Amino acid sequence: MNTTEKLERAKVSLLLDEPFFGSLLLRLRFRESPGLGTLATDGKSLYYDPALITALSEQELEGVLAHEVLHNALLHHTRRGGRDPRLWNVAADYAVNLIVRDAGLVLPADALYDEAYRGMGTEEVYALLQKQGEGQDAGKGQGQGTGTDTDPTPAWGRFREYRDGDGGECREEHENNWKVAVDEARKVARGQGKLPAGMERVIDSLLYPKVPWRTVLRDFVERCARNDYTMAHPNARYLHTGFYLPSLYSDELPPFVVGIDTSGSIDTEQLREFQGGLQEILDTFSTSVTVVYCDSAVHTVVEYTSGDVVELSAKGGGGTSFVPVFEGVQERGLTPSCLVYFTDLHGTFPPAPDYPVLWVVSAWRGAGEGDVPDPPFGRKVLLR
């Protein structure tokens, strides 16, 4: 069997047995690179040394291919920034190999593997390796080659930094395309009951980076405000980036509306946590909020203004419909800058309104963004 046949056989095997890795592998163009001594990928192609393909067993080859495609799926080739290239590659190997082995795939005996890094992202592993001073020795003696300035990792599975514009894609477009592919591969593997253990969490961390929900709530309300902005006082929160963005001319925000789902799906602890986020907004800005309690019908409407103490309580029970809250806004002649709805997201939705909507979702503990369906309109954030 020649190397091309061996690679095709491994690809088909992954498609049948490990569709998450196999479907992503189809995005890469295989390119023969004699003398490379390893495999390498840049997010567009997978470069391989025929001699290494011959030396690997069929099971090891499948594991190595899954290893390489995971580097792309997790955007290791675009996320390095100013970090040391060699140490970043070593850290990425530690993160990836745990996932590959958990999927039941086989890796060469000299693959970097350490249970101490389980559950960590590549950035966390990199920081630990840097702190431990392992950058000079980690990965030495692995596989083929010794590394160079342009391809510095001595381990057998390398990835190369993506260069903006490679393949006609800018970096942002390239990353977005991989994120879409990862989400599609997850759906395919999940549909076949073959999504590798732990991949849901890894994928969610890639597609839905965790941002404190209070930060999302505050920024959402502030961005929806119709206040004037001024460049006389640049926004201090963005000065460190080198961008001079306008800041709010004043701390006044127009009124907004909050819907509270009282169908019984939200517990007291979650309601108290949401209450704290709402209180923070009223304490920070000069504004007012109309709080509407609703299950299948509106039960209570309470008005708060800055300086008031917010006290939320679940009133109601029964089924859930979001329609009455939105209809109530229209019937009362309100023109809110936005509407924030606190709910488990299970209910009847109205047509999309002409103002922004944020759904703060009381998901079960440990749930990821991908576990909660997207609403038909508006933005969602998990309260966790």
Domain co-membership, 219 together with 283: yes
Residues whose CB falls within 8 Å of the CB of residue 158, separated by 6 or more in sequence, listed in order: 38, 39, 40, 41, 89, 151
Domain co-membership, 246 together with 145: no
Domain co-membership, 247 together with 180: no
pLDDT recorded at residue 136:
47
**pLDDT class of 367 with cuts at 50, 70, 90:** low
Whole-prediction pTM value? Answer: 0.56
Domain co-membership, 293 together with 253: yes
pLDDT recorded at residue 316:
62
Would you say residue 169 has pLDDT above 70? Answer: yes
Sheet holding 157-159, edge to edge: 29-32, 45-48, 39-41, 157-159
Domain co-membership, 190 together with 226: no
**pLDDT class of 144 with cuts at 50, 70, 90:** very low
Of 150, 178, 207, the position where a domain reaches its end is 207
List the CATH number of the domain containing 327: 3.40.50
Domain co-membership, 88 together with 179: yes
183: containing domain:
3-207
**How many domains does the structure of the chain reveal?**
2
Q: Name the more confident of 212 and 324.
A: 324
Of 207, 229, 261, the position where a domain reaches its end is 207
Domain co-membership, 203 together with 217: no
Q: What is the pLDDT of residues 192-230, one digit of tens each?
A: 999 987 788 788 777 766 667 888 888 888 887 644 444
Of 156, 185, 207, the position where a domain reaches its end is 207
Domain co-membership, 266 together with 343: yes
Domain co-membership, 125 together with 228: no
Q: Name the more confident of 231 and 283.
A: 283
**pLDDT class of 366 with cuts at 50, 70, 90:** low
| pLDDT mean across residues, the chain | 82
Domain co-membership, 51 together with 189: yes
Q: What is the pLDDT of residues 235-292, one digit of tens each?
A: 444 444 444 444 444 467 889 999 999 887 788 888 888 999 999 999 888 899 999 9
Domain co-membership, 46 together with 158: yes
Domain co-membership, 120 together with 195: yes
Q: What is the pLDDT of residues 170-199, one digit of tens each?
A: 888 888 899 899 999 999 999 999 998 778
Using CA atoms, how far residue 54 sits from 2, 12, 14, 141, in Å, is 8, 18, 18, 20
